[in-house]
Amino acid sequence: MTAEQAHALLEASRGDRLETLFRLMLANGLRRGEALALHWSDVDLKAGLLRVRWTLSRTSRGLQLDEPKTDKSRRTVPLPRSAVETLQAYRTRQLEEQRTAVGACQEHGLVFTTEVGTPLEPRNVLRRFEVLAEQGGLRGVTPHTLRHSAASFLLAAGTYTKVVQEHLGHSSYAITADIYSHVGPAQQREAADRLDQALRW
């Protein structure tokens, strides 16, 4: 996904209940299960950090919170300033929804919930993402594309592969290098153009 495509997707999601979820996944390269399992107690908006400690998945026993499979997946990652601002606004809206729910709202401490405070169903998130992607003119993309794109953007901007590995929670440097070895001239040109805009020669 190019930066332009990512922008189109985010524009399509503007005002959608899941907009903040998708923005955070793109900003931090979170897996869907990691984002859906995120608790407010794991988010430090003042320091601009979040801790990945859980993953949410659908099992034969229903929705289940589990610890990540590897030690590397349990990690603390920095939040971009725009993500902090987005989460602050989202939290304000969420607290207002809980106040007006008058006892009907369940409190699980999760960042992303249904209107009544229950965990989001991963399959429903996938379906909603597909609808928004189509509205944005994108085909063949999934929520995992956001993670993939975050890594590609970081690498194209010159971020060290080791740093990207830690950011994504890959178990080894080799995995990150192998998966994203395709980052090439197009992404490098995009990064150079962005740098040019930032410097405003």
Active site residue ranges: 31, 69, 147, 170, 180
**Which candidate, 33, 16, 36, places its Cα nearest to that of 111?**
36
The dihedral sign for the CA sequence 53, 58, 14, 169: positive
Q: How far apart are CA 69 and CA 72, in angstroms?
A: 9
- Distance, CA of 182 to CA of 165 (rounded, Å): 15
Residues 6 or more apart whose CB falls under 8 angstroms from that of 163 comprise: 154
116-147 burial, b if ≥16 CB within 10 A, otherwise e? ebebbebeebeebbbebbeebebeebebebbb
Contact 109, 40 (CB under 8 A): yes
